A and B are shown apart, each in its own frame.
Chain A
Amino acid sequence: MSSRTVCVVDYHMGNHASVVHSLRELNYRVRVSNDQAVLNEADVLVLPGVGAFPSGMKALHSLSLVSYLQEQARLQRPIIGFCLGMQLLADASYEHQYTMGLGLIPGEVVPLINPQWHIGWNSIECVLQDPLFQASDGQVFYFNHSFAYRGPSEYQIGLSRHHKAFPSVVRRGSVVGLQFHPEKSQGPGKELLKSLISGLCHA
């Protein structure tokens, strides 16, 4: 068993069983909570999520987690967002109506156009040197989304292509966003999580 503890932030958006299962298979201690006392004990915070951006932000506000997560990012605590969780890291989103996000990674979340969604297994191409993602360059992961991050290229570590390229991996310091679902991406997803969590904890 690893000495590292990963806490899945429970803001009532989606089911966390696959995330928990993946992390436990990697031998991490896993907690699922929205209690700040529990979150404080974790080495890494994971923000998963399925659903719409405004509902996600509303849930985070109702649990008083917005300022908490912003403070943790300032303290350099590793935070990893998956899918909707990645989008929430941005400044704002145009999903349904313009909604402010956590503002941890500069940029906005905009709708995909032609086609309007991106579903299935696609590869990531690393466009910035980052040892945490080196082993995952070219690997395929599971995507299921209709909005994507748009922001400064300095935060875009990896791209994926579906007619046009869009950022699929973003990072600002200890805050990382993955547009895909590593917990639903079988072996490559677990390999990436292992490298990412280990790397962020040692950084």
Chain B
Amino acid sequence: MLKKRLIGTVIVRNGWAVQSFGYRRYLPLGKPECLVQNLDRWGADEIFVLSIDRSSDRLGPDFKLLERLGQLGLGTPLIYGGGIRSVEDGLQVIRLGADRLCVDAILHDDIETVRGLSRQLGAQAVIAALPLSYRDQRIEWLDYRTKVSTQVSAKDLDAITLGIVSELLVIDWEHEGQPGGFDHRLIAHASLPAEIPLIAFGGLSEPGQLIELLSQPPMAAVAVGNFLSYREHAIQKIKTKLIGMPVRLPSYESMYSLTADV
């Protein structure tokens, strides 16, 4: 049976891992490599590294960061998002060690490039990030570069994503970084394509929230960022509170003897 996933998220700005609050306030945490290594050691189901300034500053993907992450030899699957402008960018991100890509800005600008990425890498490697908000009883989609939100319909989302991405990352950008802040109406009212599994992110801190989301059939994963900081074994601690959910049990590195029998 396919398990639902707990994704550890690292937000990167100006090359540094940061805590992000509502897409507008940032606190430095340190080197992204250190946080990624922790998530790998703690047994996250996937690690999501999101470089949030690469598209708005037209810098392209952070290949140097990816090189450093690739050299870590991670034992956990890696998703990378940030600055992907072309099919060649996406291919290079995979060559440097990411297993999957997350696209956001390019969904607004050039859907044909997303289609090209999907053709080259397979849709299973492509995730669409949708920063959404619920206002005046309607769902709005944010272009984070311009800070402008526009109403988005189910038909729009179908046209954008169907057949070319394998999962939708629904981001509650307004409540990002706010404990217990994720607005469940984003899932209930967004009329997201039923065929595409969802990942929720933004303001997810409480086990009860995670259980409520993971209990919903379209939810394949939850992504947690800020709330994994300043504590040891944060992934295992969350997972112990998700017992009974269809998630992988917490794992501890020391369980395994790694010496070859010769």
Among residues of A, the one whose C-beta sits closest to the C-beta of B255 is: A187
User: Does B75 lie within 8 Å of A120, measured CB to CB?
Assistant: no
Q: Which residues of A, 129-147, contact B by the 8 Å Cβ criterion?
A: 140, 142, 144-146
Among residues of B, the one whose C-beta sits closest to the C-beta of A118 is: B2
- Interface residue SS majority, chain A: mixed
User: Does A119 lie within 8 Å of B75, measured CB to CB?
Assistant: no
A27 CB contacts on chain B under 8 angstroms: 258-260
User: Does B260 lie within 8 Å of A144, measured CB to CB?
Assistant: no
> Is A183 interfacial (CB-CB < 8 Å)?
yes
> Is B74 interfacial (CB-CB < 8 Å)?
yes
A-B interface pairs (CB < 8 A), number = 126
User: Does B99 lie within 8 Å of A50, measured CB to CB?
Assistant: yes
> Is A94 interfacial (CB-CB < 8 Å)?
no
B123 CB contacts on chain A under 8 angstroms: 116-117, 146
User: Does A123 lie within 8 Å of B1, measured CB to CB?
Assistant: yes
Number of residues in A with C-beta < 8 Å to the partner? 46
Interface centre among B76, B99, B100 (most CB of A within 10 A): B99
Q: Which residues of B, 217-261, contact A by the 8 Å Cβ criterion?
A: 220-221, 248, 251, 253, 255-256, 258-261
Number of residues in B with C-beta < 8 Å to the partner? 43
**A112-132 to B contact mask, C-beta < 8 Å, 1/0:** 000111111111000000000
Q: Give A28 to B262 CA distance when docked, in angstroms.
A: 10
Residue among A18, A28, A52 making CB contact with B75, cutoff 8 Å = A18
B177–chain A nearest beta-carbon distance, Å: 26
Among residues of A, the one whose C-beta sits closest to the C-beta of B45 is: A121
Among residues of A, the one whose C-beta sits closest to the C-beta of B4 is: A120
Residue among A15, A21, A24, A116 making CB contact with B96, cutoff 8 Å = A15
Q: Which residues of B, 120-147, contact A by the 8 Å Cβ criterion?
A: 120-125
User: Does B256 lie within 8 Å of A190, measured CB to CB?
Assistant: yes
Interface pairs A-B: 8 shortest CB-CB:
A21-B73, A117-B124, A15-B97, A2-B260, A187-B256, A27-B260, A121-B3, A2-B262
